[in-house]
Amino acid sequence: MSRADSDEVVRLLTAPNPIVAHVWQSALAAEGIRATVVGDYLDASFGDLPGLKPELWVHRKDVARAEEILQHQVVGEEHEEEAAEAEEPEPGGP
């Protein structure tokens, strides 16, 4: 891979909303990966139209590591949500 190829910026993923996109961007930054959120304010102009979701872009050389970091981030959040739900008492319970 040439230096030009590794410096190329590519779309990593599409986020469900701008808040999640920026959380993921921060998680990557904490691990030393520079990421850019693209399109995070499009919904403010056009509303909730299909295809107008924010995207996270990274350098091609960082794609594999960024995917791994975000996989751990998402799995970790899911476990936290499950633990919080397990601690909540059932409605109508003691």
Exposure string over 10-37, b if 16+ CB within 10 A, otherwise e = eebbebeebebbbebbebbeeeebebeb
Look up the CATH architecture of domain 3-85.
2-Layer Sandwich (3.30)
| Single pTM value for the model | 0.72
pLDDT digits (tens, 9 = 90+) for 4-44: 666 899 999 999 888 999 999 999 999 999 999 998 877 66
